[in-house]
Amino acid sequence: MSKAKVIAFANQKGGVAKTTTTLNLAVAFGEEGHRVLCVDMDPQGNLTMSQGIDPDTLERSMYDVLVHQLSIREVIRKREVDIACASIDLAGAEIALAATIGRERALERALNPVREDYDFICIDTPPSLGLLTINALTAADKVIVPVQCEYLSMRGLVQLQNTLAMVRENLNPKVDIQGIVPTLVDSRTIHAKEAIEILEENFGSRVFASRIRKTVRFAEAPVKGMSVLRYDPKGSAAKAYRDLAKEVINGRS
Ligand SMILES: Nc1ncnc2c1ncn2[C@@H]1O[C@H](COP(=O)(O)OP(=O)(O)O)[C@@H](O)[C@H]1O
Ligand SMILES: [Mg+2]
């Protein structure tokens, strides 16, 4: 059995569509016949909520997996894809892990036993470059970086690249950016066009060809506990993530 490809979705800026991209890309992989696990590494639990699961009702969550070595299978719920759920107590994991040996490898260790059960493992991360995100980057083969084109921050991307270089040097030599996804693109504005041009000047072919445009569907779907692919299967938003999935699967190694 081959092992899952592990993809972390990271950008320390909030509101750039990390969670939206993690879920919808994961569902698009699923539509292509792949077995997919999503892991919620954000204490806000937005990924968990976006599949209709109330984090406050969870007895066990990723906190117990990371801190108490509970099997990750115990916190996986089957929805459109499998979801390893998080709740607010995950916020305490950074402190609980801080003094432990191998604190950066807690997630990698947790995923090892299930890597043959899936083709893709998609990890959603919180808006910081703290220990939870470091755990995701250490467990990952590839990183996908959603970037909001309206408030493009090159400095933010440089910081992320520096953190990734540190992870590569000390923890996970193979990890690399698979691609940058322009999200929340408002194609009517000149600003968005310019922002994408700047992105391509700096990152060249690492910018995916797919663009995720702004649409209210992305706000509506999570309220119903659905991905956009299920909420509006024929819509352009769903198509954008299906196209991105094809790029990830076929395009780059
Ligand atoms: N393409 C889009 N068009 C419009 N709204 C979007 C789009 N993608 C995400 N959103 C909305 O933007 C907000 C932030 O997205 P989210 O995925 O939670 O970002 P992050 O995880 O980076 O904080 C959410 O309310 C989400 O519904
Ligand atoms: Mg999020």
User: What is the per-residue pLDDT across 172-182, written as a single tens digit (0 to 9) for each?
Assistant: 999 999 999 99
CA distance linking residue 107 with residue 240, whole number of Å: 30
Q: Please determine, for residue 125, whether its predicted confidence score (pLDDT) is greater than 50.
A: yes
Q: What share of the chain is helix, strand, coil (3-state, %, to 5)?
A: 50, 15, 35
CA distance linking residue 134 with residue 132, whole number of Å: 5
Cβ pair 121, 4 in contact under 8 A? yes
Query: 67 vs 57, 60, 138, CA distance in Å?
Result: 19, 11, 16
Q: In the predicted model, what is the mean pLDDT of residues 226-238?
A: 97
Q: In the predicted model, what is the mean pLDDT of residues 217-222?
A: 94
Residue 237 exposed, middle or buried by CB count within 10 Å (0-12, 13-18, 19+): buried
pLDDT of residue 253: 44
Distance from residue 173's CA to the centre of ligand 1 (Å): 31
Q: Please determine, for residue 244, whether its predicted confidence score (pLDDT) is greater than 90.
A: yes
Q: Phi and psi (nearest 5°) for 150?
A: -75, -40
- Ligand 1 pocket test, candidate residues 11, 13, 20, most atoms within 8 A of CB: 20
Q: What are the structural domains, with CATH classification, of the chain?
A: 5-251 (3.40.50.300)
Q: Please determine, for residue 243, whether its predicted confidence score (pLDDT) is greater than 70.
A: yes
Per-residue pLDDT band at 2 (split at 50, 70, 90): confident
Q: pTM for this structure?
A: 0.97
Q: Which atom of ligand 1 is nearest to the CA of 46?
A: 18
Q: Please determine, for residue 223, whether its predicted confidence score (pLDDT) is greater than 50.
A: yes
Task: Note the ligand closest to the C-alpha atom of 211.
Answer: 1
Q: Which atom of ligand 1 is nearest to the CA of 183?
A: 1
Per-residue pLDDT band at 151 (split at 50, 70, 90): low
Residue 239 exposed, middle or buried by CB count within 10 Å (0-12, 13-18, 19+): middle
CA distance linking residue 108 with residue 53, whole number of Å: 24
Distance from residue 87's CA to the centre of ligand 2 (Å): 13
Rounded to the nearest 5 degrees, what angle is found at the Cα of 243, between the Cα atoms of 242 and 244? 90
Beta-strand relationship, 142-148 and 5-9: parallel
Q: What is the pLDDT of residues 86-124, one digit of tens each?
A: 999 999 999 999 999 999 999 999 999 999 999 999 999
Task: Note the ligand closest to the C-alpha atom of 10.
Answer: 1
Ligand 1 pocket residues where CB is under 6 Å: 14-20, 46, 127, 183-184, 212, 214-215, 218-219, 222
Task: Note the ligand closest to the C-alpha atom of 25.
Answer: 1
